[in-house]
A and B are shown apart, each in its own frame.
Chain A
Amino acid sequence: MAQYREKSLYESFPALRYVLYAITGLLLSVLHVVFVRLISVQGIAPDLLLVLTVWIALSEGQFIALYAGFICGLLFDIVSADVLGTNALAKTVAGFTAGYFFRQADIPKSLGGIRLLLAVGLSSFIHNLAYFFFYVRPTEMSFTGFFLQYGIATTLYTVVVALFPMLIYRSTSMGRA
């Protein structure tokens, strides 16, 4: 006889996930503006909203990740006084890239494993390429120098920060198992 298991609220209303993503996005954007100065090193800060975008990409797939990246980027543009659309574009492309790492049958393994870090690394790299390209375009600054100085460092720092949700997810999913 199959064992009866009560469904959680989360399982009963799958749309609740999107509400949770939205709340997390809002919280992370506020956190970024107010507290990120405390963890910035030599002016380099991790991109928390990018980690969320990649997380959504690995949980929901490429199509949802595209829109998640766009909304996260737009949110970031608004709260960070940046030119509207620059982060939105970079994060849309990053969400699209991260979508290639989505494996329907292997979601827990992706979120709690090295795939999350790889996806964050590659997406962050492409995000920074796109962002700094548009950032230096109206100026006479050297794109290569600027990207090497800020882009690579930000990518590495974001990957390090992505370790935390990965480890937390792994420990909680192992606890459940």
Chain B
Amino acid sequence: MYRLIELIVRFKEYVSLCALIVICFSLMSWSHSGQLGGFRAVIVGGIGWMQSAFAWIPNPVSIKSENAALRELNLQLSEERASIRQALIENAALRKMLEFKKKSAYEVISADIVGKTTTEVRNFVTMNKGTADSIQEGMPVITDAGLVGVIIGASSNFSIAQLLINRDSRIAAKILRSRIDGIVAWEGEQDLVMKNIPKSYDVKVGDEVITSEYSNKYPSNIRIGWVSKIIDEPTTLFRRILVRPSANFSTLEQVYIAKIIPDPERLQLEREIEKRLRERRRLR
């Protein structure tokens, strides 16, 4: 026993390193990835308060990129304006004919971005609306441009959303023109990636990509972005489709939070199946 204690004291650095590594691994497996809960919700409130207090400080780098994006948007809008005017006239006539009943598919809450963490790979935004405004974890965040992300934590007055450009993003998506389904994910680049699409499928650069009705997280038919590049994988029958997100994450200021909660029963079932598959893979 004495020798053991002596050994531990002698190699205390190595023993401590091993113990701390074990603690870190336990923490990693204990905390569910992409979800914030319990005491961390309190931290969200504190950080949100601080970020909102200093949100007035301008960031020269983001102002420059914002200006460039606004100029580009201005050009697009002036082109769109002419076509919209024509479309409005047509739309009015068609609505009358079909007695189209205008209704919003879901309720939305507007929120301001008070803090942004888009450094390295931690892509989150803090918003000034929380549980007091009935914001809950799992609600999708959108803008007029398209899908932005999903709420992962909320305190009474603030909430944190994980952006699409995040490791944990997996979106059931669809190419609007050809109705091809796939999963859109982020792999660290500027664009999102839609993988395992057979080469024979009809996909073109510029095609609009929207959320699919198979998604358990997001409402269907929300724009994700546009196909920016199609890469044929040389040794397979598949191709990688790069999707440029329609939302500009560097200039986000106001967003809408859709008051939609994924069906908990469906989520539970999908998590269980995923767990079982993972265990089966581990056993192999």
Interface residue ranges, A against B (CB under 8 Å): 30, 33-38, 40-41, 43-45, 62-63, 66-67, 70, 73-74, 77-86, 88-89, 92-93, 96, 99, 132, 134-136, 138-142, 145-146, 149-150, 154
Partner of B20, one of A62, A70, A141: A70
C-alpha spacing A132/B187, complex, angstroms: 12
Across the interface, do B27 and A45 meet the contact criterion of CB distance under 8 Å?
Answer: no
Query: How far does the alpha carbon of A43 sit from the alpha carbon of B56 in the complex, in Å?
Result: 20
Known contacts being A37-B116, A81-B153, A99-B13, is A66 close to B20, with CB within 8 Å?
Answer: yes
Which 8 pairs across A and B sit closest by C-beta, in order of nearness? A85-B27, A89-B24, A84-B31, A85-B28, A45-B119, A85-B24, A40-B119, A84-B27
Tell whether, in the assembled complex, residue B116 and residue A139 are in contact, meaning their CB atoms are under 8 Å apart.
no
Interface: B67 (CB within 8 A): no
- Cβ-defined partner of B167 (8 Å) among A36, A79, A139: A139
Question: Which of B's residues lie within 8 Å of A, judged by CB?
Answer: 12-13, 16-17, 20-21, 23-28, 30-31, 33-34, 36, 40, 43-44, 47, 50-51, 54, 57, 59, 61-62, 115-122, 124, 152-153, 160, 167, 185, 187-188, 195
A45 to chain B: closest CB distance in Å? 4
- A44 near B28 with CB under 8 A, answer no
**13 extra interchain contacts, Cβ-Cβ under 8 A, other than A66-B16, A85-B23, A139-B185?**
A33-B47, A33-B50, A43-B120, A63-B12, A66-B17, A70-B23, A73-B24, A81-B44, A81-B117, A81-B124, A84-B27, A85-B28, A154-B120
Q: How far apart are the CA atoms of A84 and B187 in the complex, in Å?
A: 21
- A35 and B119 CA atoms in complex are apart in Å by 11
Q: Is the interface of A mostly helix, strand, loop or mixed?
A: helix
| Contact (Cβ within 8 A) A134 B28 | yes
